[in-house]
DNA sequence: AAGCGTATTTGTCCAGGACAAATAGACGAA
DNA sequence: TTCGTCTATTTGTCCTGGACAAATACGCTT
């Protein structure tokens, strides 16, 4: 496996792979006849473990070079310290994934939405399911393609529900909400769940999709006459970059636009002109508060 | 703008940016106090033009270093040589994008699906619209976020329609089709349109999502008991890699599984054990032929 | 005109050095 | 104790310039 392939597969940049090798003696790839690195499959697997640990906050110097057993031990400890009681729904989902039963998986997800409602699904159950699947993957109980499969079905079900919710009921219009992620953030699931929450509150929601450059987000906010910019940050997003990006966005976007950030990114903190949401369930009351806030000054007209 | 930002924004790897600078004298970035490259916005814009031209088949040595006017001229020539008569629907879509009217855009797309049917939408109209939007972007008439916006709404509408089609009518079951793209291919639109075509034929379709490693695709095919692997390649996918990847997949996947490849990738050619589809409309008859083929030998049981 | 071998172009990789950004640890003040 | 500030260490990213393989164009032959 070439260094470029490992970069794609493990998400570790080439420069990092080379500098780890120089500093810690691992990875220790073979060389082909032209002195290019060839990574054996087992080292790639170890690198994947390392990636998880580093994302979780371990320092490379402390973990790179240790044996697979030790690393797995550390990962297990992380998993149990994340006290994620696996509900019966999650258990069912994992079973279906293990059996590769995509059709039934979608039926089950649709059934959960119908029974619990879109709000509870997006705010509580969905994140729980996604967390359980991610944890199972990190324990090696699922293959990547099974995680892909879950993401696909989940996205599909959620999108349909949002579409339906948008048609039903009289939308109240304001606030107009724009959804997006920063360029380093390719995960769409969190964004989609937030979109569901806003849609349920009768907001007009417009998604820019993932990985939109910050100046573009600001330009879009201006062009759409948006009231709120909703940004999503997954747990692997580098916190300092999130804060820098938010400051940049705050400077570029119109002053009247509010910036609401959310997601599992650990270092995400409120900042001047930016609200931070730890829970998706906090969106509904916040929208209510926004409406009360802009209605009161009576200075804003409906364009 | 740092070299990493340009890499993200233009899709040109850092190594390539540096080597172009060394060989052709362009780009010619400023340096910050620590000698790191700082790309001015206008050079980044030129790099985006260059990227389009190189993707379209121009050789870097012939175009890097030329003036913006010359480059725009070459791009225009490309656009007219792509004889894409813009239909009234595409015109309407571009107008709505220019006005940032996401809500009406979705309504219009939904209306087209209802009027023309999902089949015509996925096979003909959809690719036409996507092509028109891409061309408008390359002419500088649209911003990136407007292209994102289109992709989002298009995806949403198409997914809903697929979901509806899946529920309606008695699915005939076989063939079981698995959808996916190779790791270097992040575009989901082509895959989604193919999924629509197969779903209309009553196939059981399962999507692995984009960027699945080749061994994972093969493993999934085995696990799902798939009959057909459907791969999508966009116009920017490097053709040699597509052919190498298909050969690798052919070697890893079960012999009984057929591999069907499609998309706008120019160098995509049929190969032993792999079919290539130039048009999405060719899928429907091909599924019919598949059914006739496997029904005849009568050696396969329904598991 | 189509197939094949050679020349040129072009992207990716390498080494090893450098330093800024991020983090941990020590220290002092409320 | 708990919080903020300052310093030391760690860590990722960028640098240069050289090398070569893979991809492409070109010229030759059939």
Q: pLDDT tens across A63-103, in order?
A: 988 888 888 888 777 665 554 556 788 999 999 998 888 88
Confidence (pLDDT) at A299:
47
Confidence (pLDDT) at B183:
75
Same domain, B35 and B57: yes
Name the residue facing A145 among B5, B159, B208 (closest C-beta).
B208
Give strand letter and number of the nucleotide nearest B36 (CA to C1'). D14
Look-up: residue for tokens 């390719």? Answer: A186
The residue ranges of DSSP E strands in chain A, in sequence order, are 30-31, 37-38, 173-180, 203-207, 228-233, 258-263, 274-277
The average confidence (pLDDT) of chain B is 85
Q: Could you count the other beta carbons within 10 Å of the beta carbon of residue A112?
A: 19
Q: Are strands A30-31 and A37-38 parallel, antiparallel or unpaired?
A: antiparallel
Residue A65, phi-psi category: left (phi > 0), alpha (psi -120 to 50), beta (remainder): left
**Number of domains present in the structure of chain A:** 3
Indicate whether A242 pLDDT > 50: yes
Q: Which of B213, B214, B230, B218 is nearest to B176 (CA)?
A: B230
The average confidence (pLDDT) of chain A is 85
Task: Return d(Cα A27, Cα A42) in angstroms, integer.
Answer: 10
Maximum mean pLDDT: which of A177-186, A195-204, B51-60: A195-204
For residue B260, list its beta bridge partners.
Answer: B230, B275
State which residues between 259 and 278 of chain B bring their CB within 7 Å of strand D: 267
- Range with the poorest average pLDDT among A179-188, B131-140, B157-166, B208-217: B131-140
Confidence (pLDDT) at B255:
92
Same domain, B175 and B280: yes
For residue B302, being part of any structural domain is answered with no
* CATH number of the domain encompassing residue A213: 3.40.50.280
B244 touches strand D (CB under 7 A): yes
SS3 for A9? helix
SS3 for A204? strand
Same domain, A225 and A279: yes
**Digit-coded pLDDT (tens) for A135-176:** 787 677 888 788 888 998 999 899 888 888 877 666 677 899
A232 vs B contacts (CB less than 8 Å): none
Name the residue facing B156 among A163, A212, A219 (closest C-beta).
A163
Same domain, A124 and A226: no
Same domain, A138 and A175: no
Task: Return d(Cα B251, Cα B246) in angstroms, integer.
Answer: 9
* Beta strands across the sheet bearing B274-277: B203-207, B173-180, B228-233, B258-263, B274-277
Same domain, A77 and A94: no
Q: Are strands A274-277 and A258-263 parallel, antiparallel or unpaired?
A: parallel
Higher-confidence position of A259 and B71:
A259
Task: Return d(Cα A18, Cα B44) in angstroms, integer.
Answer: 29
Distance B231 CA to D30 C1' (A): 39
Higher-confidence position of B81 and A28:
A28
Q: Could you count the other beta carbons within 10 Å of the beta carbon of residue B283?
A: 25
Same domain, A55 and A148: no
**Digit-coded pLDDT (tens) for B7-63:** 877 888 999 999 999 999 999 999 887 888 999 989 998 998 898 888 878 889 899
* CATH number of the domain encompassing residue B76: 1.10.1660.10
Domain enclosing residue A287, as ranges: 171-295
Q: What is each CA distance from B13 to A4, B52, B96, in whole angstroms?
A: 11, 15, 34
Interchain CB contact of A220 with B (< 8 Å): yes
Confidence (pLDDT) at A32:
84
Mean pLDDT for the stretch of residues B267-277: 80
Q: Which of A126, A53, A48 is nearest to A89 (CA)?
A: A126
Which residues 59-98 of A have a C-beta within 8 angstroms of B?
Answer: none
Residue A173, phi-psi category: left (phi > 0), alpha (psi -120 to 50), beta (remainder): left
Confidence (pLDDT) at B134:
81
Same domain, B277 and B219: yes
Confidence (pLDDT) at A300:
47
Mutation target to probe the A interface, by most A beta carbons within 10 A, among B152, B186, B192, B221 is: B152
For residue A302, being part of any structural domain is answered with no
Mean pLDDT for the stretch of residues B78-106: 79
Among A28, A51, A81, give the residue marking a domain's end: A81
Q: What is each CA distance from A109 to A94, A161, A162, B207, B225, in whole angstroms?
A: 12, 11, 14, 16, 23
The residue ranges of DSSP E strands in chain B, in sequence order, are 30-31, 37-38, 173-180, 203-207, 228-233, 258-263, 274-277
For residue B300, being part of any structural domain is answered with no
DSSP state of B41: H
State which residues between 96 and 135 of chain B bring their CB within 7 Å of strand C: none
CB within 8 A of B92, min separation 6: which ones? B108
Among B164, B190, B214, give the residue marking a domain's end: B164
Indicate whether B291 pLDDT > 90: yes
Burial of residue A271 (number of CB atoms within 10 Å: 0-12, 13-18, 19+)? middle
Yes or no, beta carbons of A220 and B156 under 8 Å apart: no
Mean pLDDT for the stretch of residues B134-142: 77
**Digit-coded pLDDT (tens) for A108-130:** 999 999 999 999 999 999 999 99
Task: Return d(Cα A122, Cα A189) in angstroms, integer.
Answer: 10
Mean pLDDT for the stretch of residues B149-156: 91
Yes or no, beta carbons of B100 and A223 under 8 Å apart: yes
User: Where does the pLDDT of residue B236 fall: very low under 50, low under 70, confident under 90, or very high at 90 and above?
Assistant: confident
Among chain B residues, the shortest Cα distance to A208 is held by B149
Mean pLDDT for the stretch of residues A218-238: 88
B98 vs A contacts (CB less than 8 Å): none
Indicate whether A303 pLDDT > 50: no
What is the nearest CA distance from A55 to chain B, expressed in angstroms? 20
Same domain, A181 and A261: yes
Chain centroid to CA B121: 16
Distance B291 CA to D15 C1' (A): 59
Q: Which contacts qualify for B242-247: CB closer than 8 Å, 24 or more apart?
A: B242/B182, B242/B267, B242/B268, B243/B267, B243/B268, B243/B269, B243/B271, B245/B182, B245/B214, B246/B271, B246/B274, B247/B271
Yes or no, beta carbons of A204 and B143 under 8 Å apart: no
Same domain, B286 and B175: yes
Measured on CA atoms in the order A189, A192, A194, A197, is the torsion positive or negative? Answer: negative
Q: Which contacts qualify for B289-294: CB closer than 8 Å, 24 or more apart?
A: B290/B175, B290/B227, B290/B228, B290/B258, B291/B172, B291/B174, B291/B175, B294/B174, B294/B175, B294/B227
DSSP state of B121: I
For residue A300, being part of any structural domain is answered with no
A11 touches strand D (CB under 7 A): no
Maximum mean pLDDT: which of A53-57, A179-183, A227-231, B141-145: A227-231
DSSP state of A271: B
Confidence (pLDDT) at A80:
58
Yes or no, beta carbons of B224 and A184 under 8 Å apart: no
Higher-confidence position of B237 and A196:
A196
Which tokens sit at A249? 């966005």
**Digit-coded pLDDT (tens) for B214-235:** 888 998 999 889 999 999 988 7
Interchain CB contact of A236 with B (< 8 Å): no
Same domain, A192 and A277: yes
For residue B301, being part of any structural domain is answered with no
* CATH number of the domain encompassing residue B110: 1.10.1240
Counting every residue written for chain A, the total comes to 303
For residue A242, being part of any structural domain is answered with yes
Yes or no, beta carbons of A212 and B148 under 8 Å apart: yes
Among A164, A181, A199, give the residue marking a domain's end: A164
**Digit-coded pLDDT (tens) for A72-82:** 888 777 665 55
Same domain, B281 and B175: yes
Yes or no, beta carbons of B216 and A8 under 8 Å apart: no
For residue B43, being part of any structural domain is answered with yes
Confidence (pLDDT) at B303:
44
For residue A121, being part of any structural domain is answered with yes
What is the nearest CA distance from B81 to chain A, expressed in angstroms? 30
Confidence (pLDDT) at B84:
54
Query: Percentage of chain B with pLDDT > 70?
Result: 92
Among chain B residues, the shortest Cα distance to A164 is held by B160
What is the nearest CA distance from A180 to chain B, expressed in angstroms? 10
């Amino acid at each position: 496996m070439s260094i470029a392939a490992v970069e794609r597969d493990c998400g570790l940049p080439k420069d990092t792979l080379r500098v780890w090798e120089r500093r810690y003696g691992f990875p220790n790839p073979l060389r082909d006849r032209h002195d290019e690195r060839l990574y054996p499959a087992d080292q790639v697997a170890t690198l994947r473990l390392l990636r998880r640990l580093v994302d979780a906050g371990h320092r490379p110097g402390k973990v790179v070079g240790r044996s697979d057993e030790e690393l797995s031990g550390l990962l297990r400890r992380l998993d149990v310290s994340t006290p994620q009681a696996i509900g019966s729904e999650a258990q069912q989902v994992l079973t279906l994934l293990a059996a590769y039963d995509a059709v039934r998986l979608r039926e089950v997800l649709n059934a959960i939405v119908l029974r619990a409602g879109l709000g509870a699904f997006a705010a509580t159950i969905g994140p729980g399911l996604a967390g359980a699947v991610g944890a199972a993957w990190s324990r090696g109980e699922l293959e990547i393609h099974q995680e892909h499969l879950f993401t696909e079905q989940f996205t599909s079900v959620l999108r349909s529900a949002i579409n339906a919710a948008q048609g039903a009921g009289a939308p109240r219009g304001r606030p107009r909400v724009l959804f997006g992620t920063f360029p380093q953030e390719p995960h769409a699931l969190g964004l989609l769940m937030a979109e569901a929450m806003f849609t349920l509150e009768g907001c007009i929601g417009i998604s820019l999709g993932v990985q939109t450059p910050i100046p573009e987000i600001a330009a879009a906010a201006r062009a759409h006459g948006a009231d709120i910019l909703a940004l999503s940050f997954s747990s692997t997003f580098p916190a300092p970059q999130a804060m820098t990006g938010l400051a940049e966005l705050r400077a570029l976007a119109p002053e009247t636009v509010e910036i609401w950030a959310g997601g599992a990114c650990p270092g995400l903190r409120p900042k001047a002109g930016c609200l931070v949401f730890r829970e998706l369930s906090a969106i509904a009351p916040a929208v209510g508060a926004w409406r009360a806030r802009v209605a009161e000054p009576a200075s804003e007209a409906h364009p």
